Amino acid sequence: MTSPPGAHLPEHPDFLWENPEPKASYDVVIVGGGGHGLATAYYLAKVHGITNVAVLEKGWLAGGNMARNTTIIRSNYLWDESSGIYEHSLKLWEGLEEDLGYPILFDQRGVLNLAHSLQDVRDSVRRVNANRLNGIDAEWVDPAGVKEICPIVNTSPDVRYPVLGATYQPRAGIAKHDYVAWGYARAAHAMGVDLIQNCEVTGLETAGGRITAVETSRGRIAAGKVALCAAGHSSVLAKMVGLRLPLASHPLQALVSELLEPVHPTVVMSNAVHVYVSQAHKGELVMGAGIDSYNGYGQRGSFHIIEQQMSAALELFPVFARAHLLRTWAGIVDVSPDASPIVGLTPVGGLYLNCGWGTGGFKATPGVGDCFAHTIAHDKPHPFNEPFTLERFTTGALVDEHGAAAVAH
Amino acid sequence: MTFRTSTGGAIDRNTLLHFTFNGQKLSGHPGDTLASALLANGVHEIGSSVKLGRPRGVVAAGSEDPTSLVQIEAPFSEPMLLATTVELYDGLEARGLAGQGRLAALPDPARYDAKHEHCDVLVVGAGPAGLVAALTAARSGARVVLVDEQNQAGGALLGVEEYLDDRPSAEWVADIVAELKSTPGVLVLERTTAFGMYQDGFVLALQKRTDHLGFAAPATVARQRVWRIRTKQTVLATGAHERPVVFADNDRPGIMLASSARTFLHRYGVLPGSRAVVFTTNDSAYCAAIDLAESGVDIALIADARPEAPARLATECAARGIEVRAGQLVTGTEGTSRVTVVHVGGEKIECDTLLVSGGWNPVVSLFSQARGKLRYDAELGAFVPGEELSTVRVAGSATGELDLNACTRQGRDAGAAAAGAAGFASGGQVPLPVSDSRCTARSGLVLWRVPGDEDASFVDLQRDATVSDVLRATGAGLRSLEHIKRYTTIGTAHDQGKTSGMIAAGIVAEALGVELEDQRPTTFRPPYTSVSFAALAGRDRGELHDPVRVTAIHPWHVAHGALFENVGQWKRPWYYPQPGEDLHTAVLRECRATRESVGMMDGSTLGKIDVQGRDAGKFLDMLYTNMMSNLKVGKIRYGVMCGVDGMVIDDGTVIRVGEQRYLVTTTTGNAAKILDWMEEWLQTEWPHLDVHCASVTEHWVTIPLVGPKSRAVLGEVAPDLDVSNEAFEFMTWHDTVVAGVPARVCRISFSGELAYEINVTAWHGLAVWEALMAAGEKYGITPYGTETMHVLRAEKGYPIIGQETDATVTPQDLGMSWAVSKKKPDFIGKRSFARAENNRTDRKQLVGLLPVDPEVLLPEGSQIVETDRLPEPPVRMLGHVTSSYPSAALGRTFALALVRSGHERIGETLYVPVEDTLVPVTVTESVLYDKEGARRDG
Amino acid sequence: MQLIPCPWCGPREEAEFHYGGQAHVAYPEDPSALTDEEWAQYVFFRDNPSGPFAERWSHSAGCRRWFNAVRDTRSHDLLAVYRAGEPMPEVAS
Average pLDDT for B515-524? 87
CA atoms of A290 and A273, how far apart (whole Å): 10
CB contact under 8 A, A15 and B475: yes
A125 in contact with B, Cβ within 8 Å: yes
Domain count, chain C: 1
A240 in contact with C, Cβ within 8 Å: no
pLDDT in tens, B390-408: 999 999 999 999 999 999 9
For C5, nearest residue in chain B (alpha carbons): B200
DSSP state, C34? S
CB contact under 8 A, B679 and C43: no
- Coil/strand/helix, residue B817: helix
Residues of C in contact with B680 (CB under 8 A): 20, 58, 66
- Coil/strand/helix, residue B547: coil
CATH number of the domain within which B307 lies: 3.50.50.60
CB nearest A295 (choices: C40, C41, C53): C53
Domain count, chain A: 2
**Four-residue CA torsion sign, B495, B498, B500, B506:** positive
Please report whether residue A90 resides in a domain: no
CATH number of the domain within which A303 lies: 3.30.9.10
Preferred mutation among C14, C18, C50 to probe A, highest tally of A CBs within 10 A: C50
Please list, in sequence order, all residues whose beta carbon lies within 8 angstroms of the beta carbon of residue B180, skipping any fewer than 6 positions away.
B131, B134, B135, B138, B144, B146, B186, B188
- Coil/strand/helix, residue B66: coil
pLDDT in tens, B305-348: 999 999 999 999 999 999 999 999 999 999 999 999 999 989 99
- Coil/strand/helix, residue B233: strand
Comparison of pLDDT for B29 and A159, the residue scoring more: B29
Q: How does the average pLDDT of chain B come out, rounded?
A: 96
Predicted pLDDT at A299: 86
CB contact under 8 A, A395 and B837: yes
Please report whether residue B542 resides in a domain: no
Instruction: Give the Å distances, CA to CA, from A331 to A34, A66, A201, A296, B800.
Output: 12, 9, 20, 10, 37
pLDDT in tens, A84-119: 999 999 999 999 999 999 999 999 999 999 999 999
CB contact under 8 A, A160 and B546: yes
Predicted pLDDT at A405: 41
Percent with pLDDT over 70 in chain A: 98
Domain end call among B518, B533, B566: B518
What angle (nearest 5°) sits at the alpha carbon of residue B461, between those of residues B260 and B330?
65
On whether both B636 and B487 belong to a single domain, the answer is no
Please list, in sequence order, all residues whose beta carbon lies within 8 angstroms of the beta carbon of residue A314, skipping any fewer than 6 positions away.
A320, A321, B533, B534, B537, B541
CATH number of the domain within which C5 lies: 3.30.2270.10
For C61, nearest residue in chain B (alpha carbons): B676
Q: Does B913 have pLDDT greater than 80?
A: yes
Beta-bridged to residue B879, according to DSSP, are B864, B899
Q: Does A1 have pLDDT greater than 70?
A: no
- CB proximity under 8 Å: C 2-61 to B: 2-3, 11, 13, 18, 20, 26-28, 30-32, 34, 36, 39, 42-44, 56, 58, 60
Instruction: Give the Å distances, CA to CA, from B403 to A88, B393, B439.
Output: 63, 18, 8
Residues of C in contact with A337 (CB under 8 A): 43-44
Predicted pLDDT at B438: 74
Average pLDDT for B170-175? 96
CA atoms of A57 and A31, how far apart (whole Å): 7
Average pLDDT for B354-367? 97
CB contact under 8 A, B201 and C58: no
Predicted pLDDT at A7: 85
Predicted pLDDT at B519: 83
Please report whether residue B9 resides in a domain: no
Nearest residue to B183 (alpha-carbon basis) of B428, B434, B390, B432 = B428
Instruction: Give the Å distances, CA to CA, from B160 to B129, B214, B903.
Output: 16, 28, 86
Range of the domain at C15: 1-25+50-86
pLDDT tier, A403 (very low <50, low <70, confident <90, very high otherwise): low
C24 in contact with A, Cβ within 8 Å: no
- CB proximity under 8 Å: B 129-158 to C: none
On whether both B704 and B582 belong to a single domain, the answer is yes
CA atoms of B744 and B759, how far apart (whole Å): 5
Predicted pLDDT at B440: 65
Please report whether residue A81 resides in a domain: no
Percent with pLDDT over 70 in chain B: 100
On whether both B506 and B490 belong to a single domain, the answer is yes
- Name residue B929's amino acid: Y
Predicted pLDDT at C18: 96
Predicted pLDDT at B441: 60
Preferred mutation among C66, C68, C78 to probe B, highest tally of B CBs within 10 A: C66
On whether both A254 and A391 belong to a single domain, the answer is no
Q: Does A343 have pLDDT greater than 80?
A: yes
pLDDT in tens, B429-488: 899 999 888 776 667 899 999 999 999 999 999 999 999 999 999 999 999 999 999 999
Q: DSSP readout, B563-578?
A: EEEEETTEEEEEE-PP
Using CB atoms, list chains with 3+ pairs below 8 Å to chain A. Answer: B, C
With contact defined as beta carbons under 8 Å apart, do B632 and B732 qualify?
no
Please report whether residue C31 resides in a domain: no
Predicted pLDDT at B1: 63
Predicted pLDDT at A291: 87
B118 in contact with C, Cβ within 8 Å: no
A2 in contact with C, Cβ within 8 Å: no
CA atoms of B343 and C88, how far apart (whole Å): 70
Q: Does A398 have pLDDT greater than 80?
A: yes
- Name residue B180's amino acid: L
Please report whether residue A160 resides in a domain: yes
Average pLDDT for A267-275? 88
The b/e string for A240-255 (b: 16+ C-beta within 10 A; e otherwise) is: bbebebbbbbbbbbbb
- Coil/strand/helix, residue B96: strand
Comparison of pLDDT for A292 and A39, the residue scoring more: A39
CB contact under 8 A, B534 and A314: yes
Phi, psi torsion values for B570, nearest 5 degrees: -80, 150
CATH number of the domain within which B628 lies: 3.30.70.1400
Please report whether residue A92 resides in a domain: no
Domain end call among B733, B757, B792: B792
CA atoms of A135 and A151, how far apart (whole Å): 28
Percent with pLDDT over 90 in chain B: 96
pLDDT tier, B587 (very low <50, low <70, confident <90, very high otherwise): very high
Predicted pLDDT at B518: 87
CA atoms of B172 and B150, how far apart (whole Å): 17
B225-229, B733-737, C1-5: lowest mean pLDDT where? C1-5
Q: For residue C49, is the peptide bond before it cis, meaning its omega torsion is within 30 degrees of 0?
A: no
C84 in contact with A, Cβ within 8 Å: no
Range of the domain at A223: 25-70+178-246+337-405
With contact defined as beta carbons under 8 Å apart, do A161 and A97 qualify?
no
For C30, nearest residue in chain B (alpha carbons): B826
Q: How does the average pLDDT of chain A come out, rounded?
A: 95
Please report whether residue A306 resides in a domain: yes
On whether both A290 and A320 belong to a single domain, the answer is yes
What's the per-residue H, E or C state across B888-935?
CCCCEEEEEEEEECHHHHCCCEEEEEECCEEEEEEEECCCCCCCCCCC
On whether both B100 and B117 belong to a single domain, the answer is no
**Furthest-apart CA atoms within chain B: distance in Å:** 116
Instruction: Give the Å distances, CA to CA, from B633 to A142, B97, B561, B636, B657.
Output: 51, 76, 40, 8, 6
Predicted pLDDT at B729: 97
CB contact under 8 A, A59 and B78: no
C87 in contact with B, Cβ within 8 Å: no
A156-160, A390-394, B218-222, B240-244: lowest mean pLDDT where? A156-160
- CB proximity under 8 Å: B 174-213 to A: 196, 198, 202, 204
- Element spanning B356, H or E: strand B353-357
Q: Does A79 have pLDDT greater than 60?
A: yes
For B913, nearest residue in chain A (alpha carbons): A129
Answer left, alpha or beta for residue B586, where phi above 0 means left and psi between -120 and 50 means alpha: alpha
CATH number of the domain within which A218 lies: 3.50.50.60
pLDDT in tens, A220-254: 999 999 999 999 999 999 999 999 999 999 999 99
For C18, nearest residue in chain A (alpha carbons): A293
Taking chain A, what is the end-to-end CA distance rounded to the nearest angstrom? Answer: 40
On whether both A327 and A382 belong to a single domain, the answer is no
A190 in contact with B, Cβ within 8 Å: no
Q: Does B72 have pLDDT greater than 80?
A: yes
Q: Does A136 have pLDDT greater than 80?
A: yes
Q: Between chain A and chain C, how many beta carbons pairs sit less than 8 Å apart? A: 63
Nearest residue to B796 (alpha-carbon basis) of B889, B670, B882 = B889
Beta-bridged to residue B145, according to DSSP, are B122, B187
CA atoms of A301 and A194, how far apart (whole Å): 34
Average pLDDT for B253-281? 98
- Computed on alpha carbons and rounded to an integer, the radius of gyration of chain A in Å comes to 21
On whether both B46 and B158 belong to a single domain, the answer is no
B694 in contact with C, Cβ within 8 Å: no
Paired sense of beta strands B392-394 and B224-236, if any: parallel
Q: Does C93 have pLDDT greater than 60?
A: no
CB nearest A337 (choices: C2, C44, C49): C44
